Chains A and B, each alone.
Chain A
């Protein structure tokens, strides 16, 4: 099985590398999403990125593509995905103020309006509808060397940022009120982290689709939460879970001819089931 997989390396190495790098990156960013209990926000931002791409396609359909050929480029669609996800991430950090709308309310609205508009915008364009369905169902095939470099660089930057600010990030995740008290500008940090989340999700969605992006964003962090004793360990365990699931998932998918994104997310789902079991056992043993 592994030999078969290695034999396919020459043809698909960009797909494999990009998939693993996206998994590592999203798992790392996702620790913060999980720590702040913002799972639904992750889903909403992923959906907004899809809307950005749909709008980009709609624009290329109504505009004179001969005059603006860049409207059909991958770069423009990726930019639209990032622009929409960053904007949504920053907007959804607002809300929750007394007398106003709750975070959940805003996030729910963002999710639903994006989900409906992204289909409506391309409903009369066969190619556009096909592309949106591809994004929703996730496909890693087609990743290029540029994707590998882009996600590798983004992962490097994220690791550096996490290492340089690990304690600040921990405090923001665990106790934002205390962070504010000791002089950290929690709102600014929240906006910065939301923008980073939007950037990574927007880029990942364009390359890997909604299922893989959302799955790698939340499932490794949720798995890590149930097996570690301290939040800081989640920053190590979550990427390891994502990488392991990605490695096994891609090998299995190649051998049994299944789509790798779905296989990886299914494995992450089972890993979470296992993590819940570990936590339950640990709880039983400590109670005994």
Chain B
């Protein structure tokens, strides 16, 4: 069941949440509370349900049981920004960074002046301020990923969700993207949910971590959740993050 939260400061709350595809239960009895301004990392082995929970948060999957509640500000989901792992554009189509980022406004009624302001703000936040008129295909992999972030920011989200956004990026480029996202969290107080396989990134940047394994989620402050015991239990092999 979905609802809204009356409690101030809480952006997302699940209680006894169970998610399933047909007869297959992916997550059972999940309890989680995300407060405004927190930087959450969702980590865990492949197929452990990270993306399934994202789908439920984005409204694409109905809970089988339990509750999933959202802050009334993000409940219409217009204020939830989603950055996918990658964007499969037709590479023969001409487009500029400006056109690409403005696509993020689909479904919103925005005046031309507000549109310009949103575009300038989103590009500045993503570190692409000087590239509005640049050919999108001339951007590097990291710049394209930041253009994806800008496309989401142009909607002025209260909750930003990134699904394996650093996959395929080299270490400096991934760090650059994380720097952008961390700045959004610290300077603008944006609540972030970051799905990744990279435990080192989580250890370095997360305020909170949700560790997915065996249909269950262990959630809490990053330092507590990323303990060697929890990670061993989740991955089945000894894992240590420094």
Q: Report A233 CB to chain B, min CB distance, Å.
A: 8
Closest to A222 in B: B92
Contact, CB under 8 Å: B135 / A229: yes
Q: Tell me which of A171, A175, A179, A231 contacts B94 (CB under 8 A).
A: A231
> Given A175-B87, A181-B58, do A225 and B94 touch, yes or no (CB 8 Å)?
yes
Binary interface encoding of chain B residues 31-74 relative to chain A, with 1 for a CB under 8 A from any of its CBs, else 0: 00000000000000000000000000011100000000000000
Contact, CB under 8 Å: B93 / A173: yes
Contact, CB under 8 Å: B107 / A35: no
Please tell me if A184 contacts chain B, counting CB pairs below 8 Å.
yes
Tell which of A36, A175, A182, A183 has the most Cβ of chain B within 10 Å. Answer: A182
Contact, CB under 8 Å: B96 / A175: no
Q: Sort chain B's interface into a size bin.
A: 20 to 34
Contacts of A173 in B (CB 8 A): 90, 93
Q: Among B14-22, B97-105, B197-205, B218-226, which stretch is in contact with chain A?
A: B97-105
Interface residues in B103-137 (C-beta closer than 8 Å to A): 103, 105-107, 135
Please tell me if B25 contacts chain A, counting CB pairs below 8 Å.
no
> Given A167-B103, A175-B103, A177-B84, do A183 and B77 touch, yes or no (CB 8 Å)?
yes
Please give the number of chain A residues whose Cβ is less than 8 angstroms from any Cβ of chain B in the complex.
Answer: 24
Please tell me if B88 contacts chain A, counting CB pairs below 8 Å.
yes
Tell which of B87, B89, B99 has the most Cβ of chain A within 10 Å. Answer: B99
Q: Report B95 CB to chain A, min CB distance, Å.
A: 6
Contact, CB under 8 Å: B103 / A174: yes
In the bound complex, CA of A191 to CA of B127 (Å): 38
Closest to A166 in B: B106
Binary interface encoding of chain A residues 227-242 relative to chain B, with 1 for a CB under 8 A from any of its CBs, else 0: 0111110000000000
Number of A-B residue pairs at CB separation under 8 A: 66
Binary interface encoding of chain A residues 170-192 relative to chain B, with 1 for a CB under 8 A from any of its CBs, else 0: 11011101110111100000000
Contact, CB under 8 Å: A36 / B90: yes
Please tell me if A37 contacts chain B, counting CB pairs below 8 Å.
yes
Please tell me if B82 contacts chain A, counting CB pairs below 8 Å.
yes
In the bound complex, CA of A272 to CA of B72 (Å): 52
Q: Tell me which of A37, A175, A177, A181 contacts B92 (CB under 8 A).
A: A37
Q: Report B213 CB to chain A, min CB distance, Å.
A: 26
> Given A175-B87, A177-B84, do A230 and B92 touch, yes or no (CB 8 Å)?
no
In the bound complex, CA of A171 to CA of B77 (Å): 18
Q: Tell me which of A182, A230, A231 contacts B107 (CB under 8 A).
A: A182
Please tell me if A254 contacts chain B, counting CB pairs below 8 Å.
no
Binary interface encoding of chain A residues 148-179 relative to chain B, with 1 for a CB under 8 A from any of its CBs, else 0: 00000000000000000001101101110111
Contacts of B84 in A (CB 8 A): 177-178, 181
> Given A179-B106, A183-B107, A229-B94, do A170 and B99 touch, yes or no (CB 8 Å)?
yes
Interface residues in A177-233 (C-beta closer than 8 Å to B): 177-179, 181-184, 225-226, 228-232
Q: Tell me which of B90, B95, B151 contacts A37 (CB under 8 A).
A: B90
Closest to A180 in B: B60
In the bound complex, CA of A179 to CA of B90 (Å): 15
Contacts of A167 in B (CB 8 A): 102-103, 105-106
Interface residues in A23-46 (C-beta closer than 8 Å to B): 35-37
In the bound complex, CA of A231 to CA of B99 (Å): 8
> Given A174-B100, A178-B84, A181-B58, do A230 and B90 touch, yes or no (CB 8 Å)?
no
Closest to B99 in A: A230
Contact, CB under 8 Å: B106 / A230: no
Contact, CB under 8 Å: A178 / B94: no
In the bound complex, CA of A231 to CA of B90 (Å): 11
Contacts of B100 in A (CB 8 A): 174
Contacts of A168 in B (CB 8 A): 106-107
Q: Report B146 CB to chain A, min CB distance, Å.
A: 16
Contacts of B59 in A (CB 8 A): 183
In the bound complex, CA of A230 to CA of B151 (Å): 16
In the bound complex, CA of A43 to CA of B67 (Å): 50
Contact, CB under 8 Å: A35 / B94: no
Q: Report A275 CB to chain B, min CB distance, Å.
A: 11
Residues on B close to A: CB < 8 A?
58-60, 77, 82, 84, 87-90, 92-96, 98-100, 102-103, 105-107, 135, 151
Give 5 new A-B contacts, CB below 8 A, not counting A178-B151, A225-B92. Answer: A167-B106, A168-B106, A178-B103, A182-B106, A229-B135
A–B pairs, 8, beta carbons within 8 Å: A167-B105, A170-B99, A174-B89, A177-B84, A178-B87, A182-B106, A225-B93, A230-B94
